């Protein structure tokens, strides 16, 4: 199981279901959320940060659903946007 580095520095297991749920919450359709979560899961490497995951999600979602990608991008204020 790939470990994700949280902003706090804590390491947690990568959770594709949690990622998919957050994409859907931002307005992505079920099939788009599934596709993006699968692509990101395939690219996730040990120690990937939550910020890197967020950037990957936005990059993968934007061509499928620009409105949901924008909502996902602005739903939380990431550290790299402060």
Three-class SS of residue 49? strand
Q: Could you tell me the residue ranges of all domains in the chain?
A: 3-81
37 token code pair: 């979560």
**Has this prediction a pTM greater than 0.75?**
yes
Beta pairing class for 48-49 and 3-5: parallel
H/E element, 4: strand 3-5
Residue pLDDT tens, the chain, 82 long: 899 999 899 999 999 999 999 999 999 999 999 999 999 999 999 999 999 999 999 999 999 999 999 999 998 655 555 4
């Amino acid at each position: 199981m790939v470990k994700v580095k949280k902003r706090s520095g804590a390491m947690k297991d990568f959770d594709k279901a949690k990622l998919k749920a957050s994409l859907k919450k931002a307005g992505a359709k079920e099939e788009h959320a599934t596709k993006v979560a699968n692509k990101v899961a395939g690219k996730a490497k040990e120690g990937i940060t939550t910020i890197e995951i967020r950037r990957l999600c936005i990059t993968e979602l934007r061509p499928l659903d620009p409105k949901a990608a924008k909502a996902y991008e602005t739903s939380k204020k990431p550290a790299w946007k402060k």
